[in-house]
Every structure is written in structure tokens, then in C-alpha cells.
Structure 1
Amino acid sequence: MAHPSFSRLRRFRLALLSLPLLACTAAWAQAAPPQASPATAVPAPGRHMIAEIQVIPRPAGTADDRYKHVDAAIAVIQASGLRYEVHGMGTVVEGPPEKIWPLLQAVHQATLEAGAERTLSLIKVSGSAQAGGPSVDDLVRKFRK
């Protein structure tokens, strides 16, 4: 049996760990400019985002189609109309953030709708507050043959 003060000590440690987080959250909330209402929010023109998503559905497919659930995720990306590259360990897609974020959710969901029992999605996102931003080509051109 655990020592009776263990749970009290654990709660104290957790409280101490959460203090900096609460302080940062409060400081951020005070410093954040007022947000526009969703009805009046207009995406900034020219904003660019690069995202890489790797879906890891379980199972990855069926006996007849080994990668059925992964292929369903890639099909969603293909149908998006955004520029993308399929790689061995994930797919990179680029475009405006207002299209990328919902796409990432749809890609994850597609594996489940294709029959996967569960799915883990690993996502990397790079964006810029300024217009433009690097493309995948800009980042890898010198390494391609």
C-alpha cells in the first residue's frame, strides 16, 4: 500500500507544475489583441502553410488490400485540389491554412470511415504570418536530382 502522504505530495507537485502554465496563459490572454467575430473574420490573402501528415491506422488495410485505410486518406488529399507529395512515411500538402486545417481532420477521419478500428495521425505544420512563405520546392530543390 502506498504511503498516505503520497497522493497529497503528488497533488502538490502537480499544482506547482501547473503554476507556470497558468501564468503564461494569463499573460497571453492579456496580451492578445481582440479577435474579430467569426462572421467578419477574413483570411489574410497570400498566407501559405505546409503540413505533413502520417496516418497510422490499425489495421493498415484488409487481407485483400494491404493499405486500404491509408489509401483512403491519400484519396482525400488528392480530391482537395491542393498541391501535395506522397512520401514513404507521410504526405506533404501545401496551401492556405483555412484549407489545410480541415483537410488534416478529414484525412484522419477517412481512415476510420474506410474501416480502421483506430488511427493515430502524426502532423507537422509550418506556417507564416506574412504573405508567401516557402513552398516544398523551395525547401528541397537543391537536394533533388
Structure 2
Amino acid sequence: MAHPSFSRLSRSRLSALWLSTLACGAASAQPTPQPAASAAATTAATAAPSRHMIAEIQVVPRPSGTADDRYKHVDAAIAVIQACGLRYEVHGMGTVVEGPPEKIWPLLQAVHQATLEAGAERTLSIIKVSSGAGTGGPSVDELVRKFRR
């Protein structure tokens, strides 16, 4: 239980910060040392480019905010994405984020959880994910460039 002197707002901001740190740090955490692999396998794994994923998440918290801040719970979710350091675009009905899958998956979970930590009674997250089996893949900019003005 948090110290009684912390306001609910302070607790939610600390929780959002913790969630963004968790989501962004999950992929950068050092793996457990494994038995030595052959030099060729190690070189191939190190030289291979990372896979690319595009995800769109729409959070629908209930309520979406408070009387003083109409979109407080949604804003908490977006703050987690902003703190992560991945490329993202906020749209009117969701946010698109792109990067390596090992960073995207924990981020999606943290974004969902951020709405609850901000004070929403419940939340629904609608998630679309696109990735390929190989390396690389198109960026959001490549997919929509010709439609932008």
C-alpha cells in the first residue's frame, strides 16, 4: 500500500513511470548467459538485422478521464508510449508504434495497464499487429507517404 501522504495522482504518475520503464527496459535487459556457441553462429546472430513490427493500440478506458481532465486515462497510456523511445504516431482513434517485437509486446501490455493505474475502473484495448517472418519490413511512413499532404 502506498504511503497515505501520496495523492492518487502521484501514485498514478509513479505507476505510469514504472510501467514505461518496464516496457522500454524489457528488451534492453541483459539475457542470462548461455553456453558458448560456435563463432559462426555468434557472428550470424550479431550481424542479423532485427525484425520490424508495426502495432496500433486503441485503449477504451471507462471512464476515459475525470471531470477535470476528460482524457486523463487515455493520456496516461500515451505517456507510456512517449517515454518508450520508439517511433509512434498518435491518431484520433489509436496510436501506431513501430520497432522490434521484443520492445513492442511489453509496451502494449504497459499501455493497457497504464489506463488502470491512472484510475480507470476498466479498460478495453484493441490491438492490431503486423510483422513478417523475416527481417525488416515496411515502416509506417512508407505505407502512408503517398496519402499525406
TM over 0.5: yes
Hey, what's the Cα distance between the residues in 1 that align with 2:139 and 2:50? Answer: 12
After TM superposition, give the deviation of residue 110 of structure 1 in Å.
0.1
Choose from 124, 130, 137 the match for 1:126.
130
The residue identity in structure 1 corresponding to 2:92 is: G
Letter in 1 for 2:113: Q
The count of corresponding residues between Structure 1 and Structure 2 is 107
User: Which ranges of structure 2 fall in alignment gaps of 5 or more residues?
Assistant: 1-30, 35-44
Report the residue type matching 2:109 in the other structure.
Q
Residue 92 of structure 2 aligns with which residue? 88
Amino acid at match of 2:74: V
| Equivalent-residue separation in structure 1 for 2:125 and 2:139 (angstroms) | 22
Q: Give distance in 2, aligned partners of 1:71 and 1:116.
A: 12
Aligned-pair identity in percent equals: 86
CA distance in 1, matches of 2:74, 2:116: 10
Amino acid at match of 2:140: V
RMSD value, Cα:
1.7
Stretches of 4+ aligned residues off by more than 6 angstroms:
none
Measure the CA separation in 1 of the matches of 2:53 and 2:85: 15
Question: Could you list the runs of 5+ residues in structure 1 that have no partner in the other structure?
Answer: 1-37
Q: Which has the higher contact order (CA 8 A, sep 6+)?
A: 2
When normalised by structure 2's length, the TM-score is 0.68
Q: Cα deviation per residue 1:78-122 (whole Å; 9 max; x = unaligned)?
A: 000000000000000000000000000000000000000000000
1:79 aligns with 2:89: no
- Is 1:48 matched up with 2:40? no
Report which of the two structures shows the higher radius of gyration computed on alpha carbons: 1
Output aligned runs, 1:1-145, within 5 Å: 45-145=49-149
The TM-score normalised by the length of structure 1 is: 0.70
Paired with 1:136 and 1:76, the residues of 2 have a C-alpha distance of: 20
